[in-house]
Amino acid sequence: MSHQHPAAFNAAVAARPRHLHWRRLAAVAVLGLAGNGAALAQSPAPPPVRQTPAQILAAKEAAMIAAGVRAECLPSKQKATPNISEDIVEDMREASVLLGEKKTDLAIEKLKKLVTKGEDYDKAVIHYNLGIGYSEKNDLAASASYFAKALSYNALSLQQSEQLRFNLGQLYVASGQFDPGIDALRDYMAKACSPVSPDAHVFLASALAERKRYPEALSEVDIALAATKVPKESWIQFKLGLLYEAKDYKGSAETLLQLISVNAGKGDYWKQLAGVLLQMEDSTQAAAVLALAERQGMLASADDIRNLYNTYMIIGEPQKAAQLMDAAIADKKLPLDEKNLESVSNAWINARETGKAEATLKQLASMAERGEYYFRLGAMYGDQERWKDSREMLERALEKGGLKKPGEAWFRIAVASYGSNDLKGAIAALQKSVAYDDTRTQASEWLRSLSTQPMPAAAAPSATSSSAPAAPANSAS
């Protein structure tokens, strides 16, 4: 189907019958436009409006402001860096060479002769170089003073000023001038146009920590950690120290978990976590942490193992405590000595593992120079009503000596004798027991009671009768 030329189309419309319906007119109009579509599409596009460099810069800066960039950071606000004045340029060159050759004193002497010469930019550069010189001499306070003076001229480029503010803050902190350091670093952060280095936040945190401003320091460390893809272990350690100082044990535990995730093989982190959990009175979790570290071979020292032993005893797990010590002695992580075997015996006694406690006490009694362990065996046998064994061990304890409470040993011998229906032996032991202050009253009362009883052992009451008093509670002898 051929399409009409626009002029022919217009003529046809003008000559249309008056009764032609408007819908038909619309359809004809659409057909006519469609016929001209190809020609319209092939019409050349208008040339783009060319922007001037100034317009391009203005658009770029408008976008920067919209993104939060401060006005003073815009390219159009930057000053061109001037040249050093001709009358001092040669002296400056010589001073720079001297600094490069590490002839620091000569460089400083030459620069000091120039401090009043030239324009503000010259003076700023001179003072900056003096700061460099004194930093080479490790005179950080003097270096900081010259850097501060260089900034005061407000003549350096944006990039130079920014870096110098950061350096100035570092120098103040390194030289122990913490308050000026805090101010300088905060000034750097407030005026920086480029992204602030995470190291700057850590430096600021260290200065705040020195002033015991721990919450502010923690905030700065958190900013630094958040700005790094892989957090530095030393920074997390620094945060942990701040949390300790603030006595924030919950935060300390969370930070130690973070340290363990970074370096799980460092046993100190596990031990510190257990210590923090104990501070939080969560002994069960502390024991679990230490046990996990022990299973991974990170509790190598004797102190580490004993700490875990003590934790088990605190939380009421004496069986685990005894097993831990037994295994450590067997693996030669702990020596087979009196101190460690005593810990084992105490744990087995608390666990009511009589047989294992007895075996350990016998081993102790044979190696110890004092009779305490024979006493403990005698007391344990007495509690089990093994009267003959009890008396034998108690007599050995007295024979070996070194008991803190020998009167109690004699009193227990009396109980064992009475239980064996040896009334005479019980009276003899009580007569020994009354000589000691800690058992005199109890022994005297029982002795008077026994003196009224018939002497034949067969007539004596049984050990379970009310005539036999309870033995004193077992205590260290």
> Cα 58 from chain centroid?
49
DSSP annotation of 48 reads: P
Are 88 and 115 spatial neighbours (Cβ–Cβ below 8 Å)?
A: no
Tokens of 201: 């936040």
**19 lies in the same domain as 99:** no
Q: Is the pLDDT of residue 7 over 50?
A: no
Report, as an integer, the average pLDDT of 221-227: 95
The rounded percent of the chain whose pLDDT value lies above 70 is 80
C-alpha distance from residue 311 to each of 178, 184, 285, 301, 398 (Å): 42, 48, 10, 16, 34
Q: Is the pLDDT of residue 226 over 50?
A: yes
Report, as an integer, the average pLDDT of 247-262: 92
Q: What DSSP string describes 133-166?
A: HHHHTT-HHHHHHHHHHHHHT--S-HHHHHHHHH
Token pair 């902190």 in the structure block, residue: 173
Between 81-85, 228-232, 270-274, the lowest mean confidence (pLDDT) is in: 81-85
The pLDDT assigned to 31 comes to: 32
Maximum separation of any 2 CA atoms in the chain, in Å? 157
Between 49-58, 247-256, 349-358, the lowest mean confidence (pLDDT) is in: 49-58
- Of 412, 358, 369, give the one whose Cα is nearest residue 387: 412
Between 81-90, 149-158, 456-465, the lowest mean confidence (pLDDT) is in: 456-465
Tell me whether residue 238 is in a domain.
Answer: no
Between 12-21, 72-81, 84-93, 277-286, the lowest mean confidence (pLDDT) is in: 12-21
Burial class (CB in 10 A: 0-12, 13-18, 19+), 197: middle
Tell me whether residue 61 is in a domain.
Answer: no
Condensed to tens digits (0 to 9), the pLDDT of residues 322-331 reads 999 999 999 9
How many whole angstroms separate alpha carbon 438 and alpha carbon 32? 127
Tell me whether residue 430 is in a domain.
Answer: yes
The pLDDT assigned to 41 comes to: 45
Q: Is the pLDDT of residue 341 over 60?
A: yes
**17 lies in the same domain as 92:** no
Domain that residue 152 falls in? 87-156
46 CB neighbour count, 10 Å cutoff: 6
Condensed to tens digits (0 to 9), the pLDDT of residues 160-177 reads 889 999 999 999 999 999
Give the pLDDT band (50/70/90) at residue 298. confident
Condensed to tens digits (0 to 9), the pLDDT of residues 103-132 reads 999 999 999 999 989 899 999 999 999 999
Are 411 and 437 spatial neighbours (Cβ–Cβ below 8 Å)?
A: no
Tell me whether residue 141 is in a domain.
Answer: yes
**21 lies in the same domain as 94:** no
How many whole angstroms separate alpha carbon 93 and alpha carbon 99? 10
DSSP annotation of 116 reads: T
The pLDDT assigned to 78 comes to: 64
- Of 424, 428, 353, give the one whose Cα is nearest residue 398: 428
Tell me whether residue 91 is in a domain.
Answer: yes
Residues ≥6 apart with Cβ < 8 Å to 353: 319, 322
- Residue 459 belongs to domain with CATH number: 1.25.40.10
Of 347 and 230, the structure prediction assigns the larger pLDDT to: 347
Q: What DSSP string describes 313-328?
A: HHTT-HHHHHHHHHHH
The pLDDT assigned to 63 comes to: 74
Tell me whether residue 121 is in a domain.
Answer: yes
**12 lies in the same domain as 102:** no
The pLDDT assigned to 461 comes to: 37
Q: Is the pLDDT of residue 363 over 50?
A: yes
Condensed to tens digits (0 to 9), the pLDDT of residues 51-101 reads 777 666 667 767 766 766 666 676 656 666 778 888 888 999 999 999 999
Task: Please identify, among 156, 182, 214, the residue that sits at the C-terminal boundary of a domain.
Answer: 156
The pLDDT assigned to 81 comes to: 75
> Cα 19 from chain centroid?
93
Of 465 and 368, the structure prediction assigns the larger pLDDT to: 368
**102 lies in the same domain as 24:** no
Q: Is the pLDDT of residue 344 over 80?
A: yes
How many whole angstroms separate alpha carbon 292 and alpha carbon 298? 9
Condensed to tens digits (0 to 9), the pLDDT of residues 400-423 reads 999 999 999 999 999 999 999 999
Are 11 and 42 spatial neighbours (Cβ–Cβ below 8 Å)?
A: no
The rounded percent of the chain whose pLDDT value lies above 90 is 58
Tell me whether residue 235 is in a domain.
Answer: no
Tell me whether residue 192 is in a domain.
Answer: no
Task: Please identify, among 156, 180, 205, the residue that sits at the C-terminal boundary of a domain.
Answer: 156
The backbone region for 69, taken as left when phi is positive above 0, alpha when psi lies in -120 to 50, beta otherwise, is beta
Are 263 and 238 spatial neighbours (Cβ–Cβ below 8 Å)?
A: no
- Of 154, 180, 167, 150, give the one whose Cα is nearest residue 72: 154
Q: Is the pLDDT of residue 25 over 60?
A: no
**406 lies in the same domain as 472:** yes
Total domain count, the chain? 3
Residues ≥6 apart with Cβ < 8 Å to 248: none
**379 lies in the same domain as 476:** yes
Token pair 């913490």 in the structure block, residue: 178
Task: Please identify, among 109, 129, 156, the residue that sits at the C-terminal boundary of a domain.
Answer: 156
**399 lies in the same domain as 468:** yes
Mean pLDDT for the chain overall: 83
**13 lies in the same domain as 97:** no
DSSP annotation of 31 reads: H
pTM reported for the whole predicted model: 0.62
Of 473 and 292, the structure prediction assigns the larger pLDDT to: 292
The pLDDT assigned to 68 comes to: 64
**99 lies in the same domain as 23:** no
Report, as an integer, the average pLDDT of 24-45: 40
Of 45 and 190, the structure prediction assigns the larger pLDDT to: 190
